[in-house]
């Protein structure tokens, strides 16, 4: 499956979805849609969050599954939280156009 | 649950350099603590057999015969002296919710290269060379006779000790960074301050211990 591009290859700005299509009946919707915050993370980060949720939010369980130490897993989670905060910061939203 | 274990993309590769310089990516908490304490105990035994004193966080000296408990106490004091300031700085500087067991556990394990030092310091030649050097510097009559073999063994032991000390410092830094999640300049500055403080604290504590012998 192709990876969802989230940043512009030319200027590195945040990309938005312009068109959505139903592959069943070919209905196509045009518009300008913000990508959900989680999709803006790297595939590795998304995979980590997915496993974290599957582990009921247990860092100990994550450490066991990934065969990493507890602080390493906790540090990774902290890094992702930081990235999420940066993604959500108001500067990004200033450029948001009318819904 | 098994997906992630079988998914080689997400599992970390454990290279030799990671095992040598950052084992804390894989080992921390109680596991690191028990491993570290076990190695500390064996190092103390070798230290006792070779009269090698670890009389400071980064100190290795050939010294007088002493009871086994003193060598053990030296190891414990050195470990506590460095782990306490790291935990203190971790609480102040880090934004992560750190665990005391990770800080103390990884610091205990980070001292494992000193096990190698305690082994290379076992030969009596290192002691003889130490006495010989002391007699040269203090203008006292040498009470030992030196051979080339003694000198070679001493130089080898000295080189290994220097390498092991540098390695230990590198491991202590990694253990600090991983267990407290501190990076960049803040990590370097607090590490240096902690190390200097720990060196002074451990030296003083061990000196007091020697006085009560």
Tell me the mean pLDDT in the region A55-72. 93
Query: What interface predicted TM-score (ipTM) does this complex get?
Result: 0.82
**pLDDT at position A95 over 60:** no
Instruction: Tally C-beta pairs within 8 A across A and B.
Output: 55
Residue A68: its chain B contacts at CB < 8 A? Answer: 12, 25-26
Q: What is the Cβ-side half-sphere exposure of residue B162, based on CA atoms within 13 angstroms? A: 5
Q: Which of A66, A71, A78 sits opposite B28 (nearest CB)?
A: A71
Question: Of residues B157 and B143, which shows the higher confidence score?
Answer: B157
Tell me the mean pLDDT in the region B46-73. 91
CA distance B131 to chain A (A): 45
Question: Of residues B187 and A95, which shows the higher confidence score?
Answer: B187
Chosen for mutation from B2, B98, B179 (greatest number of chain A CBs closer than 10 Å) is B179
Compare all CA atoms of chain A with the CA of B103 and give the residue at the minimum distance. Answer: A71
Question: Of residues A98 and A69, which shows the higher confidence score?
Answer: A69
How far is Cα B122 from Cα B213, in angstroms, rounded to an integer? 23
In 3-state terms, what secondary structure has residue B119?
helix
CB of B15 less than 8 A from some CB of A? no
Compare all CA atoms of chain A with the CA of B7 and give the residue at the minimum distance. Answer: A66
Tell me the mean pLDDT in the region B65-85. 94
CB of B1 less than 8 A from some CB of A? yes
pLDDT of residue A4: 82
Helix (H) or strand (E) segment spanning residue A32 = strand A28-33
Tell me the mean pLDDT in the region B20-42. 94
Q: Is the pTM of this model over 0.90?
A: no
Query: Considering chain B, what is the average pLDDT of its residues?
Result: 88
**pLDDT at position A14 over 70:** yes
In 3-state terms, what secondary structure has residue A31?
strand
The domains of chain A, with CATH numbers, are 37-91 (1.10.10)
Closest CA to B62 of B118, B2, B103, B111: B118
């Amino acid at each position: 499956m192709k990876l969802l591009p989230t940043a512009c290859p030319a200027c590195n700005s945040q990309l938005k979805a312009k068109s959505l299509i139903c592959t069943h009946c070919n209905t196509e919707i045009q518009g300008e849609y913000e990508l959900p915050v989680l999709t803006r993370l790297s595939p590795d980060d998304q995979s980590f969050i997915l496993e974290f949720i599957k582990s009921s939010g247990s860092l100990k369980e994550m450490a066991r599954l990934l065969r990493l130490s507890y602080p390493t897993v906790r540090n990774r989670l902290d890094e992702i939280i930081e990235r999420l905060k940066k993604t959500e910061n108001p500067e990004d939203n200033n450029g948001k156009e009318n819904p | 649950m098994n997906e992630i274990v079988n998914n080689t993309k997400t599992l970390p590769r454990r290279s030799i350099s990671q095992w040598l310089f950052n084992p804390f990516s894989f080992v921390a908490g109680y596991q690191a603590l028990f491993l570290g304490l076990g190695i500390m105990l064996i190092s103390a035994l070798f230290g006792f057999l070779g009269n090698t004193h670890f009389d400071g966080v980064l100190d290795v000296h050939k010294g007088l015969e002493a009871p086994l408990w003193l060598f053990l106490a030296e190891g414990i004091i050195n470990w506590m002296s460095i782990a306490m300031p790291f935990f203190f700085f971790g609480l102040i500087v880090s934004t992560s919710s750190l665990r005391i067991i990770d800080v103390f556990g990884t610091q205990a394990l980070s001292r494992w290269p000193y096990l190698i030092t305690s082994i290379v310091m076992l030969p009596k030649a290192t002691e003889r060379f130490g006495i010989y050097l002391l007699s040269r510097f203090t203008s006292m009559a040498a009470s030992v006779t030196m051979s080339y073999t003694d000198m070679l063994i001493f130089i080898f032991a000295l080189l290994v000790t220097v390498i092991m000390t540098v390695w230990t410092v590198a491991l202590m830094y990694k253990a600090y960074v991983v267990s407290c999640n501190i990076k960049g300049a803040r990590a370097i500055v607090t590490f240096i301050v902690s190390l200097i403080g720990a060196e002074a604290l451990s030296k003083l504590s061990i000196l007091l211990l020697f006085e009560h012998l």
